[in-house]
């Protein structure tokens, strides 16, 4: 008898990505694709891609996809979902995209309780444009635009988007997970699945933040970057469930 231990997800193209070695965008893509396969929603899913390193995400998923201008993904997803309510619509956004130029879009999509799913990749830096400080960069974090470390007195404090969105009345499911080890990756997949199921059940806005690594712009090896996530990001951005409506809990209980 043959036991299948590895299979390429159908919802992901079987090609190499342009991401740097050790970048966790690839892990996030794989988890989303596995969830799409398991839920059997490949034909009805539409991805709204961001700017940033994931700008070509639509090249990797074998689902329909569109590209939004910087930060506008939740607005575009809103329009698509309202005109095609039978589709499963998700945005995939970095912290520069979601927490800088797109702050207004994500807050108002949550406030309206849009029935869309957002996967928020927080790597504490602008990856694509050369490693500048992002709203999520940690105090004292060195970036190309804060070479002496982020000084909150000058640059302001990092924004904890998950806590912010969870406080908004329209959101239904808002959680933070991490991709720095296998145990956390498994938890992340479960949360992504719940976030898609929330949309299937019509329960409203769902967001999963994933603490992620950018070894290239952090100037670290791939293993050290994962350690940096665990040792520096997790304490500042605690993992956990920040908003789970009772109706969502009922969904999880049925699983
Ligand atoms: C309207 C607009 N402003 C600025 C840019 C430049 N830009 C492209 S990607 C990016 C940063 C993206 O960082 P993030 O969203 O954190 O994603 P990452 O690259 O880290 O995955 C910026 C500032 C742009 N493309 N469009
Ligand atoms: S620059 Fe950073 S976020 Fe972008 S692909 Fe490379 S490691 Fe990933």
pLDDT digits (tens, 9 = 90+) for 188-216: 999 999 999 999 999 999 999 999 999 99
Taking residues 119-140, report their average pLDDT.
98
pLDDT computed for residue 1 by the predictor: 78
Q: pLDDT tens for residues 139-165?
A: 999 999 999 999 999 999 999 999 999
pLDDT computed for residue 114 by the predictor: 98
Asked whether the predicted pLDDT for residue 255 surpasses 80, the reply is: no
- The contacts of residue 188 (CB under 8 Å, 6+ apart) are 28, 31, 177, 178, 179, 208, 210
Which ligand places an atom closest to the C-alpha of 51? 1
Tell me the CA–centroid distance for residue 218 and ligand 2, in Å.
9
For ligand 1, which residues put their CB under 6 angstroms from it?
A: 50-54, 69-70, 94-97, 101, 121, 123, 125-129, 134, 214
Q: How is residue 105 written in tokens? A: 């879009």
pLDDT computed for residue 252 by the predictor: 84
Atom 8 in ligand 2: which residue has the minimum CA distance?
Answer: 23
Q: pLDDT tens for residues 158-179?
A: 999 999 999 999 999 999 999 9
pLDDT computed for residue 7 by the predictor: 87
Atom 2 in ligand 2: which residue has the minimum CA distance?
Answer: 214
Question: Measured on CA atoms in the order 194, 197, 201, 204, is the torsion positive or negative?
Answer: positive
* pLDDT tier for residue 76 given thresholds of 50, 70 and 90: very high
For ligand 2, which residues put their CB under 6 angstroms from it?
A: 19-20, 23, 25, 53, 123, 127-128, 214-217
pTM for the model: 0.97
* pLDDT tier for residue 254 given thresholds of 50, 70 and 90: confident
Q: List, as own/partner pairs, every contact residues 234-239 make where C-beta atoms lie below 8 angstroms and the sequence separation is at least 24, other chains included.
A: 234/178, 234/180, 236/138, 236/158, 237/122, 237/136, 237/160, 237/162, 237/176, 237/209, 237/211, 238/176, 239/176, 239/177, 239/178, 239/184, 239/187, 239/211
Q: Which of 11, 54, 16, 68 is nearest to 196 (CA)?
A: 11
* pLDDT tier for residue 62 given thresholds of 50, 70 and 90: very high
Atom 5 in ligand 2: which residue has the minimum CA distance?
Answer: 19
Tell me the CA–centroid distance for residue 22 and ligand 1, in Å.
20
Taking residues 133-141, report their average pLDDT.
98
Chain-wide mean pLDDT for the chain? 97
Give the DSSP per-residue string, 44-90. GEEEEE-SSGGGGGGGTBSSEEEE-STT-HHHHHHHHHHHSTTSEEE
pLDDT computed for residue 23 by the predictor: 98
Taking residues 248-252, report their average pLDDT.
91
* pLDDT tier for residue 224 given thresholds of 50, 70 and 90: very high
């Amino acid at each position: 008898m043959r036991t299948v231990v590895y299979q390429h997800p159908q919802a992901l193209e079987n090609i190499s990505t342009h991401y740097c070695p050790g970048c966790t965008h690839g892990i996030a893509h794989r988890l989303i694709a596995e969830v799409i396969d398991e839920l059997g929603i490949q034909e009805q899913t539409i991805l709204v891609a961001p700017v940033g390193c994931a700008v070509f995400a639509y090249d990797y998923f074998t689902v329909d996809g569109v590209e939004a201008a910087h930060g506008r993904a939740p607005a575009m997803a809103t329009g698509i979902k309202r005109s095609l309510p039978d589709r499963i619509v998700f945005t995939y956004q970095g912290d520069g995209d979601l927490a800088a130029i797109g702050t207004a879009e994500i807050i108002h999509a949550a406030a309206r309780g849009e029935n869309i799913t957002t996967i928020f990749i927080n790597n504490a830096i602008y990856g694509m444009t050369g490693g500048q400080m992002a709203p999520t960069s940690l105090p004292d974090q060195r970036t190309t635009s804060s070479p002496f470390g982020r000084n909150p007195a000058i640059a302001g404090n990092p924004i904890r988007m998950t806590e912010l969105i969870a406080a908004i009345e329209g959101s239904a499911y808002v959680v933070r997970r991490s991709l720095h080890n296998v145990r956390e990756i498994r938890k992340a997949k479960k949360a992504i699945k719940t976030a898609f199921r929330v949309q299937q059940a019509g329960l409203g806005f769902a967001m999963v933040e994933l603490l992620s690594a950018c070894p290239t712009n952090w100037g670290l090896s791939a293993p050290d970057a994962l350690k940096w996530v665990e040792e520096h990001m997790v304490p500042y951005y605690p993992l956990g469930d920040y908003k789970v409506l009772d109706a969502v809990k009922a969904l999880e209980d049925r699983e």
